[in-house]
Amino acid sequence: AYGCLAPRIITGGFDPTTQKAVWPSTGNYCRGGAFDSKLMGTESVAILPEEMSRERFTWLRDYVGSEVIATPGCESNVKEIYDKCWEIRRTKPDYVIFNQFDEFGNAAWHYNITGKAIEEVFNELGGKSNLAAYVSATGSAGTIAAGDYLRTIAPHIKVVASEAKQCPTILMNGFGGHRIEGIGDKHVPWIHNVKNTDVITAIDDEDCMRIFRLFNEPEGVKYLVESGVPVEIANNLKLLGISGISNMLSAIKTAKFFEMTSEDVIFTIATDSAEMYGSRLEELREERGSYSQIQAIKDFEKCILGATTDWMRELTYHDRKAIHNLKYFTWVEQQGKEIDDLNRLWNDRELWPKLFSQVKRWDELIDEFNDRVGLLKSL
């Protein structure tokens, strides 16, 4: 969210003293945007699907005081969010939209920050292993841009995009609703550098919900410890939210598919924690009853140890181009992008490095802006 916000402020595209910041999202991005807005003392508007977890709405309204717009549908109903953005553009000129799906500041942040953070962690491991793969849900295509950076230090790396089996848009032009909140669906984000994606995985949301209980129910954690999982790790599995669990499963599928060994290191992202899904845990308890050790055994064996390599594909050049071409239907037909720009995203080999490197100029402008405003001098 900051990667989208800062370039607008320093170039005059957003005035936090007179305009409202609009953050369209399927969950987490609007939380970051609303929080950044609160730090600046400006008003924010969060847009997210009405079927997202109750905790998100409570947090947005009560903790940061954001205006909240709930659009129809679930996690995969992104178009409805875009439709609301068009309505706001037409009717509220003092609202400025920060659309994570086409803001290159989003991808540039993860290229320069997330990618280098992963490199730092890998180097702390001693550098003797192989940096084999990077796994990320496609979402807004921000986080997966860290793979573009990792490619510069490990050209052989496999960059793996993850999505839901119930909505396998990239894997097989699929559609549908699912329960892996926060990963975005039914379109290819404008800022996704598809040429840098090697593999697509699709994860069953039922596996994610079962593992979510395994990691958060006392009987589940107890069983994991008894099975040999270190206590410290077992007690911290609550740091994995539903989409983080999906990323973990994609990493397991990747390791099995490429027959990786203990010498291969796979990085993925804990995109959020269980904190935003307490109501989902309550719903599962009401629906399925109390959690037992027998259920923990079933979930661990089936969903983790039994992870398979179906519902995934290693991409060819033409696969990648076909996925890129899907951008046309969302971004040119619906969102008003130019077809020449769409073609340039595929054909111009220098474009993506330039987009990622523009943060150097942004840093200079941030320093100039802070100097003019003078707030840092008073601290």
Q: Is the pTM of this model over 0.85?
A: yes
CA distance 339 to 296: 51
Residue 28 has pLDDT above 90, yes or no: no
Q: Mean pLDDT score of the chain, rounded to an integer? A: 94
CATH fold of 1-100:
Rossmann fold (3.40.50)
User: Among the ranges 176-190, 273-287, 311-325, 363-377, which has the highest mean pLDDT value?
Assistant: 311-325
Select the more confidently predicted residue: 339 or 379. 339
Query: For the ranges 68-72, 334-338, 372-376, which has the lowest average pLDDT?
Result: 372-376
What's domain 105-321's architecture?
3-Layer(aba) Sandwich (3.40)
Return the percentage of the chain with pLDDT > 90, whole number: 85
Residue boundaries of the structural domains of the chain:
1-100, 105-321
List, in sequence order, every residue forming a beta bridge with 133; answer none if it has no partner. Answer: 158, 266
Q: With cut-offs at 50, 70 and 90, classify the pLDDT of residue 378.
A: confident
Mean pLDDT of 217-245: 97
Residue 232 has pLDDT above 90, yes or no: yes
- Return all residues near 71 (Cβ < 8 A) that are at least 6 apart: 47, 48, 49, 50, 77, 80, 81, 83, 84
Of the candidates 95, 125, 112, the one whose C-alpha atom is nearest the C-alpha of residue 33 is 95
Backbone dihedral region of 77: left (phi > 0), alpha (psi from -120 to 50 degrees) or beta? beta
pLDDT attached to residue 139:
87
Return the percentage of the chain with pLDDT > 70, whole number: 99
pLDDT attached to residue 127:
66
Q: What is the pLDDT of residues 82-141, one digit of tens each?
A: 999 999 999 999 999 999 999 999 999 999 999 999 999 999 988 678 999 999 999 889
> Do 145 and 103 touch, CB atoms closer than 8 A?
no
Question: Do the domains spanning 1-100 and 105-321 agree at the CATH topology level?
Answer: yes
